[in-house]
Amino acid sequence: MTHYEVLGVQTTATAAEIREAYRRQARIWHPDRSETGSADKMARLNEAYRVLSDPGRRVVYDRDLNGPHVSYSGSAVGGFGGSGGRPTGHGVDGRGYEEIEVPVSPARVPWRFMLFMATVGIGFVLINAAFISPAPERPIDGLARPGSCVQIESNGDAKVVRCTGVGDLVVHSLIPASQICPLDTLAHRDYQGLGTVCVTRPKR
């Protein structure tokens, strides 16, 4: 039995009709008020009233009662009329309801949004490149380090200079004057007298 049948009301019954039907049935079936009372019947009445008296629960109950993908004629709440929960009205198939096909749209890739974000990113990079000046080169401090570029003075000293990338003489290492430079390097006295500068031969 449906909750409507338990209370003895139509599926289109209003909230006031449902409340009145519950009170009427409770006077008949409540064990404390009637000799013919039934605890089981009263429990079913309480459950039916709990569901149908709450609009939210009633909508969910009617939807489950009607079944999926079926549209019934009748009230907006009950969805169908008549006793026993039978569908009424005139549907397209003559049985009081019609099948509703719910179209499912395929997932769409937001190409326009992605293109817009890519354009913004490229513009941001270009603006930064135009307005942000490169870091200044570190000034020459005259200390010979591995990787520094040097030029050989007329007296044979190795003096640190700025690298040009063309025929540069590059410092391999700076060693004490008492040691010997590795093979494939040229030994020159450091311009500041800090030891011997081992210079890598320029590639030809």
126 domain residue, yes or no? no
- DSSP H or E run through 57: helix 55-66
Three-class SS of residue 185? strand
* Residues whose CB falls within 8 Å of the CB of residue 34, separated by 6 or more in sequence, listed in order: 27, 28
Query: What percent of the chain has a predicted confidence (pLDDT) above 70?
Result: 75
Instruction: Clarify whether residues 86 and 7 are in a common domain.
Output: yes
- Answer with the residue of higher pLDDT: 50 or 30: 50
Instruction: Clarify whether residues 154 and 85 are in a common domain.
Output: no
169 domain residue, yes or no? yes
pLDDT at 88: 41
Cβ atoms of 89 and 96 closer than 8 Å: yes
**Chain-wide mean pLDDT for the chain?**
78
Instruction: Clarify whether residues 81 and 153 are in a common domain.
Output: no
* Global pTM exceeds 0.75: no
Cβ atoms of 69 and 102 closer than 8 Å: yes
Query: Of 50, 69, 90, which residue is a domain's last?
Result: 90
Cβ atoms of 157 and 163 closer than 8 Å: no
pLDDT at 81: 41
Q: What's the CATH number where 68 sits?
A: 1.10.287.110
Q: Of 16, 19, 10, whose CA–CA distance to 87 is shortest? A: 10
Instruction: Clarify whether residues 80 and 157 are in a common domain.
Output: no
Q: Is 58's pLDDT higher than 60? A: yes
109 domain residue, yes or no? no
Pairing status of strand 97-99 against strand 169-175: unpaired
- The single-letter DSSP state of residue 132 is S
Instruction: Clarify whether residues 154 and 86 are in a common domain.
Output: no
pLDDT in tens, 66-102: 875 444 444 444 444 444 444 444 343 344 444 444 4
143 domain residue, yes or no? no
167 domain residue, yes or no? yes
What is the rounded distance in angstroms from the CA atom of residue 135 to the CA atom of residue 85?
Answer: 82
Cβ atoms of 83 and 10 closer than 8 Å: yes
pLDDT at 59: 94
123 domain residue, yes or no? no
14 domain residue, yes or no? yes
* Averaged pLDDT, 15-42: 86
Residue that is written with structure tokens 């401090």 in the block = 141
What is the rounded distance in angstroms from the CA atom of residue 74 to the CA atom of residue 100?
Answer: 16
* Averaged pLDDT, 179-203: 86
Query: Of 54, 74, 90, which residue is a domain's last?
Result: 90
pLDDT at 61: 94
Domain range for 26 is: 3-90
Backbone angles phi, psi at 163, to 5 degrees: -70, 140
Overall domain count for the chain: 2
pLDDT in tens, 32-41: 877 777 888 8
User: Which residue spans within 94-191 are E strands per DSSP?
Assistant: 97-99, 149-152, 158-161, 169-175, 185-189
* Averaged pLDDT, 152-162: 91
* Averaged pLDDT, 138-164: 86
pLDDT in tens, 95-136: 444 444 445 556 677 888 888 888 888 988 888 777 776 656
102 domain residue, yes or no? no
Query: Of 44, 64, 90, which residue is a domain's last?
Result: 90
Write out the two tokens for 36. 């013919």
Q: Is 152's pLDDT higher than 50? A: yes
pLDDT at 203: 60
Q: Give residue 116's identity as a one-letter amino acid code.
A: F
Instruction: Clarify whether residues 80 and 158 are in a common domain.
Output: no
Distances in Å between the Cα of 163 and the Cα atoms of 50, 91, 138, 169 are: 89, 90, 12, 9
